């Protein structure tokens, strides 16, 4: 009897966490240009970051970094959630920011699809977009053991 309650509780938690992430991913605007094409050319800003991620079907993570925009440095924090994958990794990387016309458009909820694997060390590129059309193209190096395939979102805030 107790096992049924635990399973029911786990399923309820899974739905309550996964539903908002999947709903946002469906509402997110498509990256401009050809379908699945990443922006190219000089970025409007760049960023550096360092963080951790953990996954066991559902996952989460946190990161800190610095946005470099129009000659100024803006410290940032990020917290994220994901559906799909397993493992624990530390990640460090850089990013290019496109379609950023004012600093107020940078903070927000970014969504994207994730796919990758790391065993001890790995690298990858991913793209993320917020509801204001700002696109991040991230190049990261990760260490740890992980396999991920799913959707994720990151809530990025400028530190005060």
This prediction has a pTM of 0.72
Residues in CB range of 57: below 8 A, 6 or more apart: 14, 83, 84, 85, 86
Q: Using one digit for the tens of pLDDT, what is the confidence trace for 95-127?
A: 999 999 999 999 999 998 766 666 667 777 788
Query: Where is pLDDT greater, at 29 or 158?
Result: 158
Q: Average pLDDT in the 1-26 region?
A: 42
CA-nearest of 102, 54, 112, 103 to 76 is 103
pLDDT above 70 coverage of the chain, percent? 71
Structure tokens at 64: 């800190």
pLDDT at 81 over 50: yes
Give the phi and the psi of residue 71 in degrees, each rounded to 5: 80, 5
The gap from C-alpha 78 to its chain's centroid, in whole angstroms, comes to 8
Give the pLDDT score at 39. 85
Where do the structural domains in the chain lie, given as residue ranges? 2-158
Give the pLDDT score at 79. 94
Structure tokens at 159: 């530190």
Q: Using one digit for the tens of pLDDT, what is the confidence trace for 129-142?
A: 999 999 999 888 87
State the DSSP code for 39: P
CA-nearest of 148, 136, 149, 132 to 28 is 132
Structure tokens at 95: 């990013």
CA-nearest of 43, 44, 62 to 52 is 62
The CA-based angle 141-28-142, given to 5 degrees, is 10
Give the pLDDT score at 103. 97
């Amino acid at each position: 009897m107790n096992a049924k309650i635990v399973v029911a509780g786990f399923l309820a938690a899974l739905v309550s966490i996964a539903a908002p992430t999947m709903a946002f991913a469906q509402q997110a605007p498509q990256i401009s240009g050809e379908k699945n094409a990443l922006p190219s050319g000089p970025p409007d800003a760049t960023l550096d970051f360092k963080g951790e991620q953990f996954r066991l079907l559902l996952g989460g993570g946190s990161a800190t970094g610095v946005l470099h925009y129009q000659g100024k440095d803006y410290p940032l924090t990020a917290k994220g959630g994901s559906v799909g994958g397993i493992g624990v990794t530390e990640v460090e990387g850089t990013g290019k920011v496109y379609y950023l016309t004012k600093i107020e458009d940078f903070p927000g909820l970014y969504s994207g699809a994730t796919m990758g694997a790391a065993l001890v060390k790995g690298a990858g590129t991913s793209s993320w977009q917020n509801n204001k059309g700002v696109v991040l193209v991230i190049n990261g190096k990760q260490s740890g053991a992980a396999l991920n395939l799913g959707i994720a979102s990151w809530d990025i805030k400028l530190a005060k």
